[in-house]
């Protein structure tokens, strides 16, 4: 399988791990990703979907609503691209992630300084937001996770339970685009698609 987009990464993980249940946070336009995911059971969340979506609500509302016993094998997060919300979505997703499950997080490797501003109206063409900052914070504080970013499609973060060597902790105020540029490879734990496949041989 040739891997160039988020959809390919998700489907590769599903196939390699035999995943049966999938949750997508931030469906928006199902034809762009959700409809292309090859999984037995799929749920989608979006407060303002452009087409039919099972849960028309925010991710916060969804996680308050569902049973604490509801689990998913793989969860794709592509909702509100702001650091605080991404952290909430990741933490909530971990509470509903099956043993051996995986979280995929889009927009972790912003293509430019203007693409990672907080206000989407100020971005040009593509808005990655501050997703990368949430990923970086987790790289600094969560020893119990395995984390890396596949260097494709504006950066697809892969998060699973496990262990990792933490990146040296710094104050959130110092998480600037200049800091990201200087430490991009080590901070995001960037990997190629070939390395991604090697990590997930099954």
> What pTM, to 2 d.p., does this model score?
0.97
Q: In what order do the strands lie in the sheet with 21-25?
A: 41-45, 21-25, 72-77, 97-105, 156-161, 145-150, 190-191
What pLDDT, on a 0 to 100 scale, did the predictor assign at position 202? 64
Domain that includes residue 33, residue range = 6-199
Q: What CATH number is associated with residue 109?
A: 3.40.50.150
Q: Does 117 map to a domain?
A: yes
Asked if residues 187 and 145 have their Cβ atoms less than 8 Å apart, the reply is: no
Q: Is 1 domain-assigned?
A: no
Q: How many domains does the chain have?
A: 1
Does some domain include residue 165? Answer: yes
Q: Which tens digits make up the pLDDT trace of 46-83?
A: 999 998 899 999 999 999 999 999 999 999 999 999 99
Indicate whether 152 belongs to any domain: yes
Reduce the DSSP state of residue 103 to 3 states and report it: strand
Count other C-beta atoms under 10 Å from residue 194's C-beta.
Answer: 9
Contact (Cβ atoms closer than 8 angstroms) between residue 45 and residue 66: no
């Amino acid at each position: 399988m040739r891997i160039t987009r988020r959809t390919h990464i998700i489907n590769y993980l599903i196939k390699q791990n035999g995943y049966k249940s999938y949750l997508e946070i931030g469906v928006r336009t199902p034809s762009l990703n959700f409809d292309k995911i090859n999984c037995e059971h799929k749920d989608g969340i979006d407060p303002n979907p452009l087409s039919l979506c099972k849960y028309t609500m925010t991710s916060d509302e969804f996680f308050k609503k569902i049973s604490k016993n509801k689990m998913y094998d793989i969860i794709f997060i592509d909702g509100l691209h702001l650091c605080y919300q991404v952290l909430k979505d990741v933490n909530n997703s971990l509470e509903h992630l099956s043993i051996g499950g995986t979280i995929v997080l889009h927009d972790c490797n912003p293509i430019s300084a203007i693409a990672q501003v907080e206000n989407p109206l100020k971005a040009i063409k593509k808005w990655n937001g501050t997703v990368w900052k949430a990923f970086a914070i987790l790289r600094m504080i969560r020893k119990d996770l395995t984390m890396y970013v596949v260097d494709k499609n504006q950066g697809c973060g892969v998060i699973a339970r496990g262990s990792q060597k933490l990146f040296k902790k710094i104050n959130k105020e110092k998480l600037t685009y200049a800091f990201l540029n200087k430490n991009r490879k080590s901070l995001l734990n960037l990997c190629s698609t070939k390395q991604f496949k090697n990590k997930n041989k099954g």
